A and B are shown apart, each in its own frame.
Chain A
Amino acid sequence: MNVKKMTLMQKRALVGLSFVLPWLLGFIFLFATPLLQSVQFSMSKLSVAPGGYSLDFIGLENFKQALYVDANFNRILTESVATMVWNVPMILFFSLFSAVMLNQHFKGRTAARAIFFLPVILASGAIASAETAGLISMTGSSEVAKELGQMQSGFDTMGLVMMLDSTGFPEWFIDYIVDGTVRIYEIIRSSGVQILIFLAALQSVPPAMYEVAKMEGATGYESFWKITFPMVSPLILTNIIYTIIDSFTNSPVTQTIYETAFSSQDFGLSAAMSWLYTLVVAIVLVVIGVLVSRKVFYYN
């Protein structure tokens, strides 16, 4: 080897590559290959044979099956994407609100922070599924279990509905707020990391800005909208993306895809379903990304 003839730049490039090498190997064999295989599977009929599997190419048959033949997939897909889109503003609002609250100076702030981040630790799919499974086995039906679950977290929302109704807000808005309060535990549970990110962002806003605003006579409300909000706005995009990605792990679609693969052993159909899901999510991500990044303010 003519190591000595290499320039420093080349040498550094080689060293850099060696740092990235473990990841690169893993990426090629454990990400890129499965990804391509998954495309291949989605277009074939896969049958598990001893010591491997065999593939028969059947074109877009699996996609047709998922979209037109399967009774539930369309419904579950639209429902779960709709829930995702419905939840994102709630989670964002709640996490920004909590972060602003936790950024104030008050007695017991450390304790409050510790409690607010507890959901990061306890948000576990296993526990949630054990909870619903427990309720289902107790009542014998998933519908009753769902109602019971809502009752357990139970608030009487009637008063709130009455109050909001007389304020004259549009009906969908009232529905949204009431839905948010009913599912407050769910929302809190899925906004731990988002609060963390917003809080870190809030603390990186230079305090001098607030001082200037205060001297010029801005109220707290004004300085929130003119300083805090623009300064944390890049993180709103990050949090939207994080929220969407986080919803993958525990959505009904994921469940369906998993069951199609491992209960009905229809690996090809499962791959096709997961690609449809990925596609829809990608479209949602791109649309939201484009819409939000126009409004985002970058300080530097």
Chain B
Amino acid sequence: MDIGKSMKSNEMFVYKLNKTRNKAVDWLWKLVLYMLVSGISFVILYPLFRRVSMAFKDPSDIYNPTIYMVPVHFTLDNLKHAMEVMNYFPILGNTLVFVAAMTLLQAGSCALAGYGFARYVFPGSNLLFMLVVLTILIPVNTLMVPMYLHFRNFDVLNILSLFTGKDGVNLLNTYWPFVITSATANGLKSGLYIYIFRQFFKGLPKEIEEAALIDGAGFYKTFLRIMMPNAIPAIMTVMLFAFVWQYNDTFYSSLFMSGGDLISIKIASLPADVNQFLPGILGLGSNAEMRADPNHVAMIVDTGILLAIAPLILMYLFVQRYFVESVERTGVVG
């Protein structure tokens, strides 16, 4: 009886010990997790914070070593100067329209191709899909020179010179190279989008289309009216990525539109532009020898970069939850 009782209290003790130990381990794990997550988040957000702080900081605060992040003198002048140098609003509007149009074209053409590869078997369809994967794998700079010359002297199969007797048209510094490549699903990262669409359409049940066919819809009508509405997650994913990547793209835009009115091109040349125009804007005279304070230039450049990414961040605030969900639901992984 006595022994039994002590056994029981012993067991109780071990049980309680284990319970506290488990709790402690849980707590410790949570602590480590929070530390890691907040640390990494800080590393990611730090450049953004620094730019925001720069954007509202008065130049007189540059050499004040006691300032960390929060400026003493606030000003909107930096924003004004950066906007002036970049010609911000006209260029932003231009870029947004252009990027939105390209995104729609890419999504449309890649959805068509992806659907074709997912649902139809025709001679060589597997080989052609291998070629899609090849377009993902070949570095773009292999195609750079021929593409450049191609669009500099655009003439498919010499049709134009056959009829008019003239040489091809120079499409550089117009939007046509982008329109043509996007509409034929060979634009920026198109191979990836075709792949995403194919995976998604493969995952949809075949019965949907069969039902539509039996009810008398043609092949194309089935695609437009039945499959596209069902493919909204995939369309969202592709459009999100296409938008962001097109907006940030410097490779194609500097290749085809080196003098173009696109944000990404403006940003790449921003430091030089600020160096050149800032003295004039500040009223220091338009002398070419005149140099603005480099730290002030760096401040304006940071503000300009912030202005350039501001639309993306704004957009991201609204659509961020689709990012994860979309990749999960499109089954890119499966």
Interface residues, chain A, with chain B CB atoms under 8 Å away: 12-20, 22-27, 29-31, 33-35, 37-38, 41, 46, 48, 51-53, 98, 101-102, 104, 106, 108, 110, 112-127, 129-131, 133-139, 184-185, 188, 196-197, 199-201, 203-204, 235, 241, 245, 248-249, 254, 257-258, 261-262, 267, 270-271, 274-275, 277-278, 281-282, 285
Contacts and interface: CB of A to CB of B under 8 A. Distances in A.
Given A127-B305, A245-B136, A258 B141 contact: yes
Interface string B117-138: 1011111010010011001111
A131 B113 contact: no
A128 B259 CA distance: 20
Q: Which 8 A-B pairs have the closest CB atoms?
A: A16-B120, A26-B184, A19-B116, A34-B146, A124-B248, A13-B122, A23-B113, A26-B186
A238 to B, nearest CB: 8
B297 A121 contact: no
Nearest to A249: B251
A98 to B, nearest CB: 7
Given A23-B184, A27-B186, A261-B145, A118 B316 contact: yes
Q: Which of B112, B181, B320, B333 has the most CB of A within 10 A?
A: B333
Nearest to A196: B327
Contacts of B116: 16-20, 23
A210 to B, nearest CB: 16
A38 B324 contact: no
A56 to B, nearest CB: 15
Contacts of B30: 106
B229 interface: no
A137 B267 contact: no
Contacts of A37: 146, 149-150
B142 A24 contact: no
Interface residues of B, number: 93
Contacts of A124: 248, 250, 264, 267, 309
Contact of A23 (B109, B219, B320): B109
Contact of A130 (B121, B137, B305, B313): B305
A115 B45 contact: yes
B117 A52 contact: no
A24 B129 CA distance: 10
Contacts of A17: 116, 120, 122
Contacts of A131: 305
A101 B219 contact: no
A282 B142 CA distance: 13
B33 A130 contact: no
B224 to A, nearest CB: 12
Interface stretch (B11-19, B36-44, B65-73): B36-44
B112 A19 contact: yes
Given A115-B41, A270-B145, A22 B185 contact: yes
Contact of A20 (B33, B128, B183, B250): B128
